[in-house]
Structure 1
Amino acid sequence: MGLPSAGFSVTVRLKIQNKPGNFLKIVSEIAEKEASTAEVVLLYSDFNYNIRDITINCRSEVHSRRVVAALKNLPNIELLEWRDDTFEMHRAGKLEVRGRTLLTTTDELSRAYTPGVARVCKQIVKSPADVFNYTIKSNSVAVVTDGSAVLGLGNIGPEAALPVMEGKAVLFKQFAGINAFPICLKTQDSEKIIEIIKEISPVFGGINLEDISAPRCFEIENRLRGELDIPVFHDDQHGTAIVVLAGLYNALKIVDKKLENIKIVVNGFGAGGVACTRMLLNAGAKNIIPCDSVGIVYRGRKERMNPVKEELIQLTNPDNIKGSVADALKGADAFIGVSRPGAITRDMVASMNKNPIVFALANPDPEILPDQISDIARVIATGRSDYANQVNNVLCFPGLFRGALKARAYDITAAMKVAAATAIAECVTPDELHENYIIPSVFKAEIAKKVAEAVERAAIQDGVARTKAAR
């Protein structure tokens, strides 16, 4: 069932008789129910009783209800109220719109709106590039989904996808100061999605595609990149791939190996696996063995192939080996899993080369739990926050878009992605680098800034920037 997590936390408000031992009963009951006390706040106290808010991390929604019921039945303690903290955070949404200018006089109103605003409109007609100087476009991103492949939830539709897109917009603002807008489309027709995004693009400096199912996501992104003059980025593909490459750079420093010399198995050949493979190739990897639900992808295979797989197999699996993921892992130096829980076993990891690197990134349950291989794998990463080395896209997309917006880039190139990965890796200093710290904390303050600077430089070098030089 997993460890207690803030994602399933509840806060209970308890009226406790002011007698020695009563608070200990509460803490002991929480521990006995295998939950974790996260925070305690004293709201009121007198000679007879006190009132406390206690936040408790639980394992699941069902588990949280059991914990609340157990506390309700304790003697000398009254449950006044309780709340599910995640739902409380989402109440009425996580976003709001605020003006950058506070209008307090008629003069200010005349400048912000009519008649003064007409002068700015005329200037943009005269010089269309000034839309970046005088509107929100210079610092705005659309976060667009059709709700067809949301997290591990699948095709849940646009309304149910909205909380995720709101969360993404919050992260853009928190980590890079970018104004992001959640846009959930009530269509899964690729042509309609492409057309809608093109029609709304004048407002935005960039488009972040999110949670759109494969293989449609490839076509949508490729078409939009060719038809728009602002950067388009499918984060589920490239964000994961960039952070994977950053982590792999640092893992290879620990095991003293070179990217161009190692054998890498990529398991899961959907959007994430394809993007990881392309990213690794762009970074210089020479021996990548892609695997999917059928097994190793090889030249000449007929089962469950598509144009994307056919394209990439020309650049991977140099010896054209066949078989299962177990066969692929024999003698491999690194495993990158973007597939399903339990996809590999301890014996498979044991068959890998000396000092194996294992990135088991399936969420919420990885391809293999770190505890099962901690004695044989040298470096392990997952997509979860309750294990070391979390591969988290928030390390990438805020800084990447910040750099692209500063450069006023019209595309995001392979070199910009590699630059982002390198910058993330370099945020782990040589003194900090360790098997359990190859990927920096998302709360390390300088990450977005360093990624943005690296991406802006790469955009200018690749000739996709409207600006002349990095600031």
Structure 2
Amino acid sequence: MKKTKIDHYSDREALDFHNSNKAGKIEIISSKPMTSKRDLALAYSPGVAAPVREIAKNPDAAYDYTTKGNLVAVISNGSAILGMGNLGALASKPVMEGKAVLFKRFADIDAIDLEIDSSNANEIIKSIKNFSKSFGGINLEDIAAPDCFIIEEKLKEILDIPVFHDDQHGTAIITSAALINALDISKKNIKKINIVVNGAGASAMACTNLFKKSGVPNKNIKMIDRKGVIYRGRDNLNQWKSAHAIETKDRTLEQAIKGADVFLGLSTKGVLTKKMVKSMSKNPIIFACANPDPE
């Protein structure tokens, strides 16, 4: 099999990219011609009064006369940026702008990034609820667990537009698809494989849940957090981690990975050694997904 060359980018190159021409990655342009006095009068006063009246009579008319139906809010509080941790709302802006660009590039959906400077889940929920009328969908991003679960669940309950937490569901969808294909290539049965999930954040939880729904037995998945293997009887587990606790004598990654068929890394770089890989089963499947640097 021909090896694929891995591209590498320096910090300087990335910074220059973000600072070239206009700073950042997104801008707003008009979808209507703005070349004459008449165009301006229709776009703003007095012409804009007509759609205002229509929307006041029928809120659903906003989908006909505004960008609402094709506009997504990409939202973060910066509490779990990539794999770098809590660096604050403003520091998350390059990532959110990047996600907005992906929406436009691959689906022609317009998106605006909104960074909420708060670590209070209820405050974040209230903020999103109050400006949600302007959008056709909400994309949550880089919000630390367990707040991300609480925020998404509540927003789905109170809003009438789609709410999607990309770190959970986007990661779970592509990883599960990759697992299904890898199992087909390696001729392994999804009901008989053993999986080690290194990480216990939002993406790890969602991937594990989808793996189980896809046929992997609960007892065949070992999840590991900063303190080690999540096992039944371990103290101070929250409700989300408790759902993935299993009966096992393993306490470390090195112990848990012996004989495993699949390694899913969603934690930090450098944790997976050659010795650990050699201790796995024949033809192991490895998803080194730590971001920005893999395991």
Which residue number in structure 2 is paired with residue 296 of structure 1?
A: 229
The answer on whether the counterparts of 2:168 and 2:205 sit within 8 Å (CA) in structure 1 is yes
What is the CA–CA distance in structure 1 between the aligned matches of 2:199 and 2:139, rounded to whole Å? Answer: 23
What is the CA–CA distance in structure 1 between the aligned matches of 2:241 and 2:49, rounded to whole Å? Answer: 52
What is the CA–CA distance in structure 1 between the aligned matches of 2:291 and 2:124, rounded to whole Å? Answer: 27
Instruction: Name the SS of the counterpart of 1:335 in structure 2.
Output: strand
Instruction: Name the SS of the counterpart of 1:160 in structure 2.
Output: helix
The aligned runs of 1:191-340 (5 Å cut-off) are 191-286=122-217, 287-302=220-235, 304-313=236-245, 317=246, 320-323=247-250, 324-340=252-268
Q: TM-score, normalised by structure 1?
A: 0.57
What is the CA–CA distance in structure 1 between the aligned matches of 2:123 and 2:136, rounded to whole Å? Answer: 21
- For 2:249, give the aligned amino acid: K
Q: TM-score, normalised by structure 2?
A: 0.88
How far the C-alpha of 1:97 sits from its partner, in A, is 0.9
The aligned runs of 1:58-457 (5 Å cut-off) are 85-89=16-20, 91-286=22-217, 287-302=220-235, 304-313=236-245, 317=246, 320-323=247-250, 324-367=252-295
What is the CA–CA distance in structure 2 between the aligned matches of 1:309 and 1:116, rounded to whole Å? Answer: 55
More strand, by proportion? 1
Instruction: Name the SS of the counterpart of 1:92 in structure 2.
Output: coil
1:6 corresponds to 2:2: no
- For 2:222, give the aligned amino acid: I
Which residue number in structure 2 is paired with residue 458 of structure 1?
A: none
Q: Larger radius of gyration, structure 1 or 2?
A: 1
- For 1:344, give the aligned amino acid: L
Structure 1, residues 352-382: CA drift from partner, whole Å, max 9, x if none?
2221101122233322xxxxxxxxxxxxxxx
Structure 1, residues 32-90: CA drift from partner, whole Å, max 9, x if none?
xxxxxxxxxxxxxxxxxxxxxxxxxxxxx9xxxxxxxxxxxxxxxxxxxxxx6335338
How far the C-alpha of 1:102 sits from its partner, in A, is 1.0
- Residue 90 and residue 181 in structure 1: after superposition, are their counterparts in 2 closer, same or farther (change >3 A)? farther
Structure 1, residues 210-243: CA drift from partner, whole Å, max 9, x if none?
1112222111111111111111112122222221
- For 1:197, give the aligned amino acid: I
What is the CA–CA distance in structure 1 between the aligned matches of 2:214 and 2:48, rounded to whole Å? Answer: 48
- Residue 170 and residue 90 in structure 1: after superposition, are their counterparts in 2 closer, same or farther (change >3 A)? farther
- For 1:203, give the aligned amino acid: S
Instruction: Name the SS of the counterpart of 2:89 in structure 1.
Output: helix
Instruction: Name the SS of the counterpart of 1:6 in structure 2.
Output: coil
Structure 1, residues 283-328: CA drift from partner, whole Å, max 9, x if none?
22223222222222122221x4111112343xxx4xx113122332
- For 1:333, give the aligned amino acid: D
What is the CA–CA distance in structure 2 between the aligned matches of 1:89 and 1:265, rounded to whole Å? Answer: 42
How far the C-alpha of 1:273 sits from its partner, in A, is 1.0
Q: Which has the higher contact order (CA 8 A, sep 6+)?
A: 2
Q: What is the aligned-residue RMSD (CA, Å)?
A: 2.2
How far the C-alpha of 1:8 sits from its partner, in A, is 3.6
Instruction: Name the SS of the counterpart of 1:266 in structure 2.
Output: strand
What is the CA–CA distance in structure 2 between the aligned matches of 1:109 and 1:91, rounded to whole Å? Answer: 25
Instruction: Name the SS of the counterpart of 1:237 in structure 2.
Output: helix
The answer on whether the counterparts of 1:8 and 1:86 sit within 8 Å (CA) in structure 2 is no
Tell me, which stretches of 5 or more residues in structure 1 are unaligned?
Answer: 11-60, 62-83, 368-471
What is the CA–CA distance in structure 2 between the aligned matches of 1:130 and 1:260, rounded to whole Å? Answer: 49
Which residue number in structure 2 is paired with residue 29 of structure 1?
A: none
The answer on whether the counterparts of 2:83 and 2:267 sit within 8 Å (CA) in structure 1 is no
What is the CA–CA distance in structure 2 between the aligned matches of 1:129 and 1:140, rounded to whole Å? Answer: 15
- Residue 297 and residue 154 in structure 1: after superposition, are their counterparts in 2 closer, same or farther (change >3 A)? closer
Alignment length, in residue pairs?
287
Which residue number in structure 2 is paired with residue 442 of structure 1?
A: none
How far the C-alpha of 1:136 sits from its partner, in A, is 0.7
- Residue 4 and residue 121 in structure 1: after superposition, are their counterparts in 2 closer, same or farther (change >3 A)? closer
What is the CA–CA distance in structure 1 between the aligned matches of 2:90 and 2:84, rounded to whole Å? Answer: 13
What is the CA–CA distance in structure 1 between the aligned matches of 2:93 and 2:277, rounded to whole Å? Answer: 39
Tell me, which stretches of 5 or more residues in structure 2 are unaligned?
Answer: 1-5
What is the CA–CA distance in structure 2 between the aligned matches of 1:159 and 1:325, rounded to whole Å? Answer: 34
What is the CA–CA distance in structure 1 between the aligned matches of 2:159 and 2:8, rounded to whole Å? Answer: 41
